[in-house]
Structure 1
Amino acid sequence: MDNRDIVVIGGSSGATAPLKTILGALPADFPASLFIVLHVPARSLGLLATVTAAAGRLPVRAAADGMAIRPGTVTLGVPDHHLILTETGIRLGRGPRENMARPSIDPLFRSAAAAYGPRVIGILLSGLLNDGASGLEAIKRCGGLALVQDPAEALADEMPRSALEALEVDFTLPAARIGDVLSELVRDPAGPRLPIPPELRLEVDIAAGERIDSDVLRRLADPAPITCPQCGGVLSQMRGAKPLRFHCQVGHAFSAEAVAKEQETAVDEAMRVALRIIEERAELVRRMGRDAREAGRPAVAAMYEERAVEYRRYAETIRKAVLKRPAPEPSGDEDA
């Protein structure tokens, strides 16, 4: 029987420090293969060097399409490609972004679950929003183990907390303990292989870049009256997803929290545009009223002046609403 020899790790904001701690605690004879995705900007530099320095006793490589899976090796996701595991090796996917990120944590976790089932250990570190929770849930559904960094010590606790709310994880640990616990878990035999849900394989194919259309999407989701923040298409709600998630026909994927965040930015912008337009309208009719009064048309002037007062009242209401809105949150990506 195989051991739990596939370890996948994901994180975003604040994840670099705990990742260094975990890798630094692993022994030179660590028998499992490790795969890491951190949400970083497409042109971020230095992450490979950072991870290599932290993993001192283990070899580190940047993922490449067609690479074989090697025990005792750390493989790092590369910018602008999803890191996907298959039964035969590593695949780099150019499928649509998930939660505005590529590479994204969830495609790595889902692909590992689909290909290796109970052999997988998933680890979710510090980060914003709820990226990774869906992938961890897939790992658990396929018989794997789920570990989460203790939210109390995470620099950004939203990702760990979201995972704890979405599923029953096996371990919640501070980063200083994860390495030692992981070294023991990878030597344990994996459980029996479980059936892989067909919708899980379909989502892996989408991340790999396979074609998606309305017929494909209808097999795993139902249309919702919500617009895709990335392409403007219709979003469909994934059936039975934990946490709540959406796909559009292009393939862009979002958790409900990610959609809400993008909408928050759009609403803020729309309100500021509306404020500018109404203020300009108030100024225009004020000038029209003055022009009418100078031309000896007092009734017309009074009408325009009344409208100007009304528009200024609307503008003041919108201005107060804009000032009360919370400032947009940071993206959650961090440079290495």
Structure 2
Amino acid sequence: MDRAVTHRADTVVIGGSAGSLSALRILLSKLSADLPASVLVCQHVPGRGSLRAVDLLRKYSTLSVVAAEDGMEIVQGQVIFAPPDVHMMIGHEHVHLRRGAHENNFRPAIDPLFRSAAVYRGTRAIGVILSGLMDDGSAGARAMHRTGGRVLVQSPETADFPDMPSAALDAVPEAEAIAIEDLAAEINSIADTPVVSPAPVPWDIGVELKISGLEGASMENENRLCQLSPYNCPHCNGVLWQIEDGPLTRFRCHTGHAYTINSLNEMQERALDESLFSTLRAHRGRAALIREMAKKTSGSESRRRLEERAKLYDEDTKRLEEIIQNRKPILSLHDAPDW
């Protein structure tokens, strides 16, 4: 049976990373001053940069631009930015701020915001992915698409960093790629249009939203969502469960950390780099300590054995230095926006 047309599109959620500040300047400057929708933005900005972004973007928008506060009401004609170091999520008619586990190596992350729009707004929601590295937002965009929301993507050719828009298009082939200059006009035209009433939310989307809000992270839930993988969580060293989400392969640990396969690879690279330097430090320290022991040893044979052991640690140190020197640089996810 067809669902009745009883609702209107009234919620816009936007996610962006590297290069998204310039895109937001264009987008917000062209949104209608009487936009009949609320707008919520999650941007990957280091430290307290998101608060600075709010101050900067107020100059370009005729809408009210504010930083989110926990429990604040979601109203039409307002742009709400995720503050530093917490996930921003939509409730029934208000904002939730939760210091849940990092997702895709970020907090705030785009996926929890989009997933909350899927749960609490469904067909009323419009998701927008802007310029950025890697693929945060892709899983959230899939969740929105599964619950009937519209997904718009800044066309990769107009993005300073096309990775994130391209990943969203791969995850949701039905998403619409739109040049940044035309994106606001599309949102203006969709806002307040009639939509069918939301369908029941798939159980897995609801469970993952609860996990992001520290309400449902447990081994039992992960077992329901997916299967155990041979990998450990780079953040907490817990076991990771592997989720096959359409074209996406994703991972979660029972404390709530979540990764796409790309963000897991990036974090493992960082963990390996740190481990190599830690091992290098340990080898140098061992060589120095054993030589100090040799100096204080009276027996010539004992001194010789200790000096030989120190030389072995020196050889291992040289090998580690060569390995570190030959490793390729790690592409950082945490690029600052183009202030």
Q: Which TM-score band applies after superposition, normalised by the shorter structure?
A: 0.7 to 0.9
Distance 1:241 1:97, change over 3 A: farther
Compute the TM-score of the two structures, normalised by the length of structure 2: 0.86
**Number of the residue aligned with 1:185:** 190
Shift of 1:170: 2.5
Shift of 1:17: 0.6
Distance 1:199 1:305, change over 3 A: same
**Number of the residue aligned with 1:327:** 329
Amino acid at match of 1:334: A
Find out whether 1:14 has 2:16 as its counterpart. no
Find out whether 1:23 has 2:25 as its counterpart. no
Shift of 1:10: 0.5
Shift of 1:166: 2.0
**Number of the residue aligned with 2:250:** 245
SS at match of 1:53: coil
SS at match of 1:112: helix
Distance 1:179 1:296, change over 3 A: closer
Compute the TM-score of the two structures, normalised by the length of structure 1: 0.86
C-alpha contact (below 8 Å) 2:170/2:247 kept by paired residues:
no
Gaps of 5+ in 1: none
Distance 1:190 1:304, change over 3 A: same
Distance 1:73 1:296, change over 3 A: closer
Gaps of 5+ in 2: none
Amino acid at match of 1:54: Y
Question: How many aligned residue pairs are there?
Answer: 332
Residue-by-residue CA offset, 1:79-126 (whole Å, 9 max, x unaligned): 232221123332222322222322211111000011111111111111
C-alpha contact (below 8 Å) 1:12/1:40 kept by paired residues:
yes
Distance 1:295 1:217, change over 3 A: closer
Distance 1:24 1:276, change over 3 A: same
Residue-by-residue CA offset, 1:4-55 (whole Å, 9 max, x unaligned): 2211000112111101101101121222211111122343331221222121
Q: Distance in 1 between matches of 2:295 and 2:92?
A: 77
Residue-by-residue CA offset, 1:131-173 (whole Å, 9 max, x unaligned): 0000011111111111111222322222112212222143112
SS at match of 2:88: strand
SS at match of 1:331: coil
Q: Distance in 2 between matches of 1:205 and 1:258?
A: 21
State, as a whole percentage, how many aligned pairs show the same letter. 35
**Number of the residue aligned with 2:100:** 95
Q: Which moved more, 1:283-292 or 1:209-218?
A: 283-292
**Number of the residue aligned with 1:48:** 54
Matches within 5 A, 1:252-267: 252-267=257-272
SS at match of 1:24: helix
SS at match of 1:235: strand
Question: Cα RMSD between the aligned structures?
Answer: 2.9
Shift of 1:333: 4.9
